[in-house]
Amino acid sequence: MIIWCDQFTAQTIMGKRALHEAGVDTHQVSARYHGFSPSQFGFRVLNPPLVKVENRFLKSRIVFERTDAYQVTTRVQKALKANGVVLMTNTIYAGSAFAEAAMGERGWTHLASAPANFAARAGAALFHMATIETVPFRQYRAIVGELSARPEAPTSPVKDTAGKNLVVQAGFILSKRDHMLETLKLCPEQMMAWSSAARLTERPTEAAIGNEGA
């Protein structure tokens, strides 16, 4: 099972704690520079305390480099085959592929393609998760819901496996977009990663992915 987490401010620690206290052991897919700062100073000084706190609530942390997807792919597949629960955050920092979906009247949101890709290829269940603060520093709400690949939608005429896989991924991504929008309506001020009216896919190629933060 894969849990696809949104970047609300409370997700980093309280979301993991909520799953841990519910008896769910999870494997977090994490960037090497995860934390407060992607700088060397952040990596060596600022980030380790946060990572240490998060690790209390995790079974393991699957750390990746942007240039080496093979090892993380192998570890994620191994965890899924063992019926493990893998946490992935909705960020386009790590990969060269992402999805861009319309949100609201004029907005666009950018979603990681990896969670949908892993779920489609492995046949794993894919869940949405968002953790929001309801009483400042005292009370939090973890929202978890299963994402649908929308099998009721018209099927693709493409008969090859790759084509069918893309149809399933698209269904997951649209379902994720809808769940995220519903949570945004509850507390837009708690969302860490906002998109804009400008489409990322219409920007120059060199600016599209390279400077995204973790």
User: pLDDT by residue for the chain (214 residues), tens digit each?
Assistant: 999 999 999 999 999 999 999 999 999 999 888 888 889 999 999 999 999 999 999 999 999 876 777 888 999 999 999 999 999 998 765 555 788 888 877 788 888 889 999 999 999 999 999 999 999 999 999 999 999 987 554 444 445 566 668 899 999 999 999 999 999 999 999 998 776 666 766 665 443 333 343 3
3-state SS, one letter per residue, for the chain? CEEEECCECCHHHHHHHHHHHCCCCEEEEEECCCCCCCCHHHHHHHHHHHHHHHHCCCCEEEEEECCEHHHHHHHHHHHHHCCCEEEEECCCCCCCCEEEEEECCCEEEEEECHHHHHHHHHCCCEEEEEEEEEECCCEEEEEEEECCCCCCCCCCCCCCHHHHHHHHHHHHHHHHHHHHHHHHHHCHHHECCCCCCCCHHHCCHHHHCCCCCC
Q: Per the domain annotation, does 108 fall within a domain?
A: yes
Q: Per the domain annotation, does 213 fall within a domain?
A: no
Q: Per the domain annotation, does 18 fall within a domain?
A: yes
Among 90, 87, 129, smallest CA distance to 112 is for 90
pLDDT at residue number 209: 33
pLDDT at residue number 93: 58
pLDDT at residue number 104: 75
pLDDT at residue number 196: 65
Q: Per the domain annotation, does 30 fall within a domain?
A: yes
pLDDT at residue number 159: 54
pLDDT at residue number 105: 76
pLDDT at residue number 86: 97
Q: Per the domain annotation, does 214 fall within a domain?
A: no
pLDDT at residue number 92: 62
pTM: 0.84
Say how many domains are in the chain. 1
pLDDT at residue number 100: 84
Q: Per the domain annotation, does 17 fall within a domain?
A: yes
Q: Per the domain annotation, does 121 fall within a domain?
A: yes
Q: Per the domain annotation, does 167 fall within a domain?
A: yes
Range of the domain at 144: 2-208
pLDDT at residue number 69: 76
- Rounded CA separation 110/81 (Å): 28
